[in-house]
A and B are shown apart, each in its own frame.
Chain A
Amino acid sequence: MGISAPSVPRVWRERIIKYRLLGSKCADCGKISYPPRKACPRCGSTNLVEISLPKRGKVLSYTVIRTPPRGYLKYSPYIIALIELENGARILAQLTDVDPDEVKSGMVVEAVFRRYREQGEDGIIEYGIKFRPPIT
């Protein structure tokens, strides 16, 4: 029990979307979604094209996870933020390399490649994009 059924194929299947932040844009209403999909969650259009999402954005809201789900204890406490990317797409991700008291709504952040989860000490490591205050 816990993080149910750690799966290797599942991680493999999602790797490119998660490593490179792929999304989709609705040709009808303009909504940009992460991850990419076949139908627009705003208008129902199926006229969507896959796009690469910008690697910068700003924090819309954030929280600090102090009681994490099984599988994330090692990293707790950690910051989760709802981020609006430069093209308006929204993504939920961890903030890293930053202390909770340094985070503010509206702050600019940039994508960084990090570990998210390990499937136990002898299982695979799951990587993805987190965000941090820009280096420069």
Chain B
Amino acid sequence: MEKVFVLGGGVTKIGEHWSKSLRDLFVEAALKAAKNSNIELRDMEAVYVGNMSSGELQGQEHLGSLMATWLGIPGVAAVKVEAACASGGAVFHQAYLAVASGVYDCVLVGGVEKMTDAVVHDVTAALIMADDAEYTAFTGASFVGLNALVYRYYMEKYGVKQEDIALFSVHDHKYAANNPYAQYPFQVSLEKVLSSPLIADPIRLFECAPIGDGAAALILCSERFAKESGIKPEVEVAASALATDTISLVDRDDLTTLAATVKAAKKAYKKAGVEPRDIDVMEVHDAFTILGVIHLEDLGFAEKGKGWRLVKEGEIEKDSKIPTNLSGGLKARGHPVGATGVYQVYEIYQQLTGTAPNQVGKAEVGLAQSVGGVGGTVVVNILRRVR
């Protein structure tokens, strides 16, 4: 297996890009990634496009060919990768496999989602496609609603108060305030979170990742490519692991654990040769506050039912035990669904190269977790600084 390096990346600001289309966003991120990596897009052997809902929201599929065309490199191998909200993590996984296998030496991997072309009820309909259309979406459940079921169950099972879980949103906003490409770069108080409108009880608006447009891209290459091009890569992909779980909550014995996170993390830690305590910085997929708390547990940083304590006791702050979501997380950096997993890897890349907006002191190993559906797919990617 070949070693896989991250040469560089680029992202767009996340927000309501009324004047930019799906392809505009992707091209913008890809060009930035190429520039930051000192490389020409012409050198790409393959393009991987992560996206969830272009078919539903733009009436556009076949993103591999579309983006290759608009990047000016038709002819390149190119495909779309979809795994609901984990599309970003999954596309990185596929690109990693392509280079690790030795088939390609240099690839562009990006994620893009253009959500604001549609009104909220259409976006809600598109997002619930992450679950079983015939037996879950049929009931009228929204994606927020499914997470609300987990939220209530978690609170009742472990006797945790909403105010302790909702803190995750306050945490995210605190760091987003300093992130130039975050969708909501401002702080919020816990009172504001808890008094925001109910979306799906008990989940309130300020506990949900927003709807936004954005794209992120990275250039990955093999050791051979780096050597031949005379590039000294700074960051290596230590592991990329993907696991699935039942697509719907009804088939699960435990509602408060994302088994796919546990499985993917175990594989990734093993491959990277690290343990949770070796992780210096991480980005977790907190599409809702409750998920942030559950991820801290499932990734091995807290016992079940106690993840919220890490947040409350300051253990996930910048200069503490396990700095988490220093980008602002899904809640405040934003969550352009199919792009989010790529943003996360880019953010870990920034931390390892000392270029992050909320830079930790010293980071050797970083982790990014990307979740699709209610944990139907989870990707755990671990990056390491090249010494």
Could you tell me which A residues sit within 8 Å of B by CB distance? 1-4, 10, 14, 18, 33-35, 41-42, 60-73, 75, 78, 80-82, 90-94, 100, 105, 116-117, 126, 128
Contacts and interface: CB of A to CB of B under 8 A. Distances in A.
Interface range for B: 35 or more
Nearest to B138: A116
Contacts of A116: 138-140
Given A1-B118, A63-B201, A14 B134 contact: yes
B149 A66 contact: no
B310 interface: no
B149 A2 contact: no
A113 B48 CA distance: 46
B142 A65 contact: yes
Q: Classify the interface of chain B: helix, strand, loop or mixed.
A: helix
Given A1-B57, A63-B200, A92 B248 contact: yes
Contacts of B139: 80, 92-94, 116, 128
A33 B250 CA distance: 8
A78 B140 contact: yes
A80 B140 contact: yes
Contact of A80 (B56, B118, B141): B141
A127 B135 CA distance: 12
B76 interface: no
A94 B135 CA distance: 12
A64 B118 CA distance: 23
Contacts of B202: 63
A69 B125 CA distance: 4
15 contacts: A1-B56, A3-B125, A18-B138, A33-B251, A63-B203, A64-B201, A65-B140, A67-B200, A69-B121, A69-B125, A69-B140, A82-B249, A92-B250, A105-B156, A128-B139
Nearest to B57: A1
A65 B141 contact: yes
B140 A72 contact: yes
B13 to A, nearest CB: 25
Nearest to B201: A64
B39 interface: no
A33 B252 CA distance: 10
Interface in B112-147: 118, 120-122, 124-125, 128-129, 134-142, 144-145
B116 to A, nearest CB: 14
Nearest to B152: A61
Contact of A1 (B122, B138, B249): B122
| Interface hub of B129, B140, B149, B199 (most chain A Cβ within 10 A) | B140
Question: Closest 8 CB pairs between A and B?
Answer: A63-B148, A69-B125, A61-B153, A72-B140, A90-B250, A70-B121, A41-B251, A64-B201
A4 B127 CA distance: 12
A61 B149 contact: yes
B142 A2 contact: no
Contacts of A61: 149-150, 152-153, 156, 255
A84 B124 CA distance: 26
Contacts of B248: 92
Nearest to B127: A69
A63 B152 contact: yes
B213 to A, nearest CB: 17
Nearest to B125: A69
B159 to A, nearest CB: 13
B128 A69 contact: yes
A116 B271 CA distance: 47
B386 interface: no
A68 B56 contact: no
A94 B261 CA distance: 29
A9 to B, nearest CB: 12
A73 B200 contact: no
A81 B136 CA distance: 11
